[in-house]
Structure 1
Amino acid sequence: MKPVRFWVGLVLVALGVLGILDATGALETGGLLSGWWPASLVGLGIVAMLSQRRMSIGPAAVTVIGLILLAGTLDLAEGGLWWPALLAVAGFAVLAGLRREHSTRTPLVMFGGATTREQSRHLRHTDVSAIFGGSTLDLRQARIDEGATVDAFALFGGVKVLVPRGWRISLGGLPFMGGLEDKTDSTGDLPADAPVLAVNGTAIFGGVEVTNTPEK
C-alpha cells in the first residue's frame, strides 16, 4: 500500500503549500481548491486499485464519487457529464461481477452497516469495503486450502473480518489517521500447515479489525 501512502502524503503536502501561499497573499488558491479538491478522491481510488493490482469495489466507488463531486464543483453537470458518470458506475458494476469467476462476493457498505457471511469451500480472495459506514465480513464458515487474501478498505468507516480459530493471520497495509488491529486468539500454538489468511488493509480515517468473535 505504499502508493496509497505516497498519494495521501502528496495531497497533504499540496494542500499545505497552497494554504501557505493563499495565507501569505502570494497566490490566490481558494478557487482552485474549491473546484478541484474532489480530484484527490479520484486519485486515491485509482492509486488504491493500482496498488492492489485488481478491481476492488471500494476504491472503484471512491473514484466514481470523486468524479461526480468534481462534475458538481466544476459546474460540468449541465454539459452532459451525468450520463457518462452513470455509465462509469455501470461499468464498474459489470467488472466487479466478472471478477466473481475468480473470487467471492465484494460487499460494499456506504452510509450504513451490513454483515456478509462467506461460506466458500475453497476461499482464495475476497474484498470488503466501508465508506462512511461499517461492514463485517464473516469467514467463520469458509475454508482455505492453503492461503487466501482479503482486501479491506475503510474510508471514514470501519471494517471487521471474522475468522475461525486455527487460521494464521497476516495483517498489513496502510493505516492513515486510522488503525489496523489483529484481535485473533493467538494464545495457542498453530500447526505449521495452518491455513494462512493475508489481510491487506487500507484504513483512512477509519479502522480494519480481524477477530474471532463478534461484538456482544
Structure 2
Amino acid sequence: MRPVRVWVGLVLLALGVFGILDATDVLDSGAAVGRWWPIALVGLGLVAMAAQRRASLGPVVITLAGLVLLMGSLGWATGDVLWPTVLACAGIAVLVGLRRHHGTRTPVAVFGGTTTRERTQHLRHADVSAIFGGATLDLRQAQVDSEASIDAFALFGGVEVLVPEGWRVSVGGLPFMGGIVDKTENDGLSDDAPVLTVNGTALFGAVEVANQPKR
C-alpha cells in the first residue's frame, strides 16, 4: 500500500533529521522524540485503515497499541489504569477482527492452530487472523463473482491463504519484522479471471498466499 510506505518514509526521514540536528547541537529533540514517538504507530494504523477503506484487525491493533504507549509515555495512565486499558483495547481489536462479512466465517487462531474451508459461491470479503498461532483459510472450493478481498493479520504467528488456480491474486500490506509472500501462479490467466486482493499485516509473523498447502 503506497500510503503506508509514504508514512513509513516520512517517519524515518523525520527521525533522521532530528538525529542530525541533535548531533550538530542545533536542536535538542531527544526528549520530545522519546515522549511522542508512539504517534508514529497511531499514524501508521490510521493510514493503513484509510488505504484499505475499512477498519481491519491489523491496523486497529497497531493504532490501539500506539495509543496505549502514548498514554504511558505522557503519564496519562498509571499502572492501575494502563493494564485495564490494554485489555479493553485488545477486546476491541478482537471484536473488530471477529466481524462477519456476507456470511463468510472468520478464522482466528490464538495460541493454537485452525483451518477453515470456505465454500461460499459469492465470496466478497473474509478475515483471517493468527496470534501466537497458525491459521489457514482454504478458498479452493469458493467462488468469486468478479472481485473479493481478504484481510490477513499475523502477530507472532502465521496465516496461510489457499486459493484455486485461475484466480488473479494481488497481495500487499504491512510487514513489520515479518513477511507477506505471494506463491500463486498468475501467469497465463484470462482477462476475465476473478481478482482476489489480500491485505496483509504481519507483525513478527508471516502471511502467505498459495495455490497448494505447505508440504
Q: TM-score category by the smaller chain?
A: 0.7 to 0.9
Deviation at 1:113, TM superposition (A): 6.6
C-alpha change, 1:45 and 1:31, in structure 2 (3 Å) is: same
How many residues were matched structurally? Answer: 213
Root-mean-square deviation (CA), in Å?
3.5
Question: Mapping of 1:133-152 within 5 angstroms?
Answer: 135-152=135-152
Tell me what 1:10 maps to: 10
Deviation at 1:17, TM superposition (A): 0.9
Output the TM-score relative to the length of structure 1.
0.75
Tell me what 2:46 maps to: 46
Listed one character per residue, the Cα deviations across residues 37-91 of structure 1 (whole Å, up to 9, x for unaligned) are 2221111111111111111011101111111222222232229465555544444
Opposite residue 27 of structure 1, the aligned amino acid is L
Tell me what 1:25 maps to: 25
2:58–2:201 contact (8 Å) kept in structure 1: no
Tell me how far apart the structure 2 counterparts of residues 134 and 25 of structure 1 sit (CA, whole Å). Answer: 49
Tell me how far apart the structure 2 counterparts of residues 202 and 86 of structure 1 sit (CA, whole Å). Answer: 21
Opposite residue 48 of structure 2, the aligned amino acid is A
Deviation at 1:8, TM superposition (A): 0.8
Deviation at 1:92, TM superposition (A): 4.4
Q: Percent identity?
A: 60
Question: Mapping of 1:62-101 within 5 angstroms?
Answer: 62-78=62-78, 80=81, 83=84, 86-97=87-98, 99-101=99-101
Tell me what 1:61 maps to: 61
C-alpha change, 1:32 and 1:106, in structure 2 (3 Å) is: farther
C-alpha change, 1:201 and 1:101, in structure 2 (3 Å) is: closer
Output the TM-score relative to the length of structure 2.
0.75
Tell me how far apart the structure 2 counterparts of residues 88 and 207 of structure 1 sit (CA, whole Å). Answer: 23
2:104–2:118 contact (8 Å) kept in structure 1: no
Tell me how far apart the structure 2 counterparts of residues 196 and 6 of structure 1 sit (CA, whole Å). Answer: 26
**What stretches of structure 1 of length at least 5 have no aligned partner?**
none
Tell me what 2:209 maps to: 210
Between 170-179 and 69-78, the greater mean CA deviation after superposition: 170-179
Tell me how far apart the structure 2 counterparts of residues 66 and 141 of structure 1 sit (CA, whole Å). Answer: 39
